Structure 1
């Protein structure tokens, strides 16, 4: 099973949105039996809470389920438990790499979400907790999750051909 962890600050807006959207895309491509997704935050303010009301409302509008998604904090064991660790912004990436220590230095399994969308000239997925713009985040997340799924499929295909 291939595993993906989406990481943001509090794990109530961006990363749970990405987790839910990615799970939906996996279901649509009938790949949920080979790839799994989770999300976590670098902070501990919202532990155990469901996604933010703005995230829930947006996901409901698009018919995307978010059952069972609850905020949790990134753990050091996540480095070994996940194949892809996708950080929503530069600060999240820095904090995750700091938590994981030298084993994550230069390692491509930890990367920023916006690296999936190089044509968009921004480094970070904006935090709708502060901006209120959940629609903008959904557009980025939807595009980026699709690219991530393509990336995973391509990398796995290359591994089987090698």
Structure 2
């Protein structure tokens, strides 16, 4: 299975989601069963590491995302990945799926089986509290995704 986490700039929510899921899959012994990546709908931060606050928040939970680099989603991603999981409705709308491509798009938390009404708010203009809230939401989604994979529902 191949999953792409998507947010706006690929420096906050999607790299935290990638890191949380990678860590949970590793702990569950499923790391080799799932390919994970992250991207953004925009290219403003292409090549940059995650926001220092995202790095610090993930590190506080034992997850290292400092090596990740931002990139913009590209047309090839829609055939490379099975699912493109979006942080919020805006990202879902901005992810323009080319005709005939195989990837399916969904909201990350909804696909994971979490409370579908709770998008992952962009913490970029906030502080540590907002980044911790975003971490909590992506980590819950990551835990649910692992359960979903174990149950064969992915």
Of 26-35 and 147-156, the range deviating more from structure 2: 147-156
- Render the CA deviation track for 1:112-147: whole Å, top value 9, x for unaligned: 01313543643x210000233111111111111111
Q: Could you list the runs of 5+ residues in structure 1 that have no partner in the other structure?
A: 158-162
RMSD: 2.0
Match in the other structure for 2:115: 119
Rounded to whole Å, the distance in 1 between the matches of 2:143 and 2:114 is: 14
When the two structures are superposed, what TM-score results if normalisation uses the length of structure 2?
0.88
Query: Which one has a bigger Cα radius of gyration?
Result: 1
SS class of match (1:63):
coil
- Residue among 147, 150, 153 paired with 2:147: 150
Aligned pair in 2 of structure 1 residues 138, 63: CA closer, same or farther (>3 Å)? same
Q: Could you list the runs of 5+ residues in structure 2 that have no partner in the other structure?
A: none
Match in the other structure for 1:83: 82
- Render the CA deviation track for 1:69-125: whole Å, top value 9, x for unaligned: 1000001111110112100010100111xx214447xx8821001313543643x21
- Equivalent residues, number: 151
- Residue among 105, 109, 112 paired with 1:110: 105
Rounded to whole Å, the distance in 2 between the matches of 1:102 and 1:30 is: 36
CA contact (8 A) 2:11 2:45 kept: yes
